[in-house]
Amino acid sequence: KKERNAVILAHNYMTPEIYHGVADVVGDSLQLAIEATRAEADVIVQCGVHFMAETAKILNPAKTVLIPDMEAGCSLAESITPAGIAEMRARYPGAPVVTYVNTSAEIKAESDICCTSSNAVEIVESLGAGRVIFLPDEFLGRYVAGRTAVEIILWHGHCEVHERFRAEDLRAYRESYPGIQIFAHPECPPDVLAEADYVGSTSGLIRHVEATRPERVMLVTECSMSDNVAAENPDIEFIRPCNLCPHMKRISLPGILHSLETLEYQIEVDPSIAARARLAVERMLEVGRGSGG
Ligand code: 13P
Ligand code: SF4
């Protein structure tokens, strides 16, 4: 890392040996995007999925941005194409397009503004529009719709990890573990979120654990995060249903070492796409650096 003058940015879903062992900065998608704009190192190693590395490259194009595994994708990013956005714009003329950052640069380039799970409501309301097209995450869109008067037009993308949680399982956990606090990520289905005591981005969930210090808690999100937070809070009991993100789990310590040794795999974004995508991401950063959710 020193030889390459590299900085390692790691998402909260990385395994503990990455999160606690080698990362310089950890965070949710919004924090990692902000850190990418500030990075002064020559090389950014993005330990997360492809759209996160692409966002770093879009925001700081002069840097060499590496991802240890090019195949680390995201089911949400896969769920929408430029033709899909064009279809929505044609169906709802004049409605601005708010795009979750879990998308490719090509999709961001076709959007008016981006959002993350920590600022989605704030971003939607910042537009002053009566209705907005929100894509691609249907469940995050439904969550936003429940917290704003703005009409939300939904797309049908889902996170393959969070869509697997079931409300009846959460109710069973409550019965088996009296006093348990349940904190959930807004990519979960609405009936799951209805069972939660708190809903927030991955960093929002961590902050809420640390602020409220429950005796026992369940984080309804990708399961490495509980390992990371549990290591720092040994007095809190974490109940852990384990849903792993197969894409996030492609990033490993040997893979990171390989990236640093070989400068593989470099993220490149077509400059004309990057310029338009940057506008949508920068508009987001101007509006909302996270409302703490
Ligand atoms: P956060 O922005 O909350 O970290 O979410 C990213 C993600 O991919 C969740 O599945
Ligand atoms: Fe995408 Fe879901 Fe994995 Fe997050 S957890 S990277 S939303 S597939």
**Spacing, Cα 204 to ligand 1 middle (Å):** 10
pLDDT at 288: 63
**Spacing, Cα 154 to ligand 2 middle (Å):** 18
Residue 220, pLDDT above cutoff 70: yes
Cβ of residue 201 lying under 6 Å from some atom of ligand 1:
yes
Residue 290, pLDDT above cutoff 60: no
- pLDDT tens digits for range 178-191: 999 999 999 999 99
Cβ of residue 117 lying under 6 Å from some atom of ligand 1:
yes
- pLDDT tens digits for range 149-172: 999 999 999 999 999 999 999 999
The closest ligand to the CA of 29 turns out to be: 1
Burial class of residue 111 (count of CB atoms within 10 Å of its CB; 0-12, 13-18, 19+): buried
pLDDT, mean over the chain: 97
**Spacing, Cα 185 to ligand 1 middle (Å):** 8
Q: Which of 107, 187, 188, 249 to mutate for ligand 2's pocket (most ligand atoms within 8 Å of CB)?
A: 187
pLDDT-above-90 percentage for the chain: 98
Residue 277, pLDDT above cutoff 80: yes
Beta strands 64-66 and 25-27: pairing type? unpaired
**Spacing, Cα 3 to ligand 1 middle (Å):** 31
